[in-house]
Amino acid sequence: MTDRGRVEASGHHNVYVVRLNKKVLEKRRFREANPEYCEEKPCVYVGLTGLDPHTRFKNHKKGNKSSRYVKEYGQHLMRKQYEKYNPMPYDEAVKMEKKLASKLRRKGWAVWQH
C-alpha cells in the first residue's frame, strides 16, 4: 500500500461495508429503499473504492466524496462482511458491490449503496 492509502496493484479495488447508526431510519429515502428491513438487523452502507477501506471510511467522515449517510451516521467498518472479497479488479468490484448489497438485503439488513 502506498502512503496515500491506495492499493498498489493498478486496477485493484475493494468493496466495503459501514455500519450505520439506526437513526438513519428517520430518513424517508433510506427507509423507502429498504421495505423488507427487519428491525433487529443492522443498517449499513455498501461501497467500492480504489483506496484501502479504512482510508475511504475516514474520507467519508471528513466529507471527502462522502455519502451523506456515512458522514452523518457511519459508526465503523464491518470487516467480516467484505474482507474475503478484496482486492479485485474494478469490473469485479462493481458487480460485487451490487451482489453484496443484495445478499445483505435478503438477510433483512437495511442497505444503502451509491
Report d(CA 47, CA 12) in Å as an integer.
14
Which candidate, 8, 41, 22, places its Cα nearest to that of 108? 41
What pTM value is reported for the model? 0.89
- Three-state DSSP at 98 gives helix
Q: pLDDT band for position 114 (50/70/90)?
A: confident
Out of 7-11, 48-52, 57-61, 89-93, pick the least confident.
Answer: 7-11
Residue 4 forms part of a structural domain? no
Q: What is the pLDDT of residue 2?
A: 44
Which candidate, 17, 20, 19, 10, places its Cα nearest to that of 83? 17
Residue 18 forms part of a structural domain? yes
Residue 77 forms part of a structural domain? yes
Average pLDDT over residues 10-14: 77
Q: pLDDT band for position 17 (50/70/90)?
A: very high
Residue 3 forms part of a structural domain? no
Residue 37 forms part of a structural domain? yes
Is 70 exceeded by the pLDDT of residue 6? Answer: no
Residue 42 forms part of a structural domain? yes
Q: How many domains does the chain have?
A: 1
Domain that holds residue 62: 12-113
Q: What is the pLDDT of residue 94?
A: 96
- Over residues 28-78, the pLDDT tens digits come to 999 999 999 999 999 999 999 999 999 999 999 999 999 999 999 999 999
Residue 1 forms part of a structural domain? no
Q: What is the pLDDT of residue 8?
A: 42
Residue 2 forms part of a structural domain? no
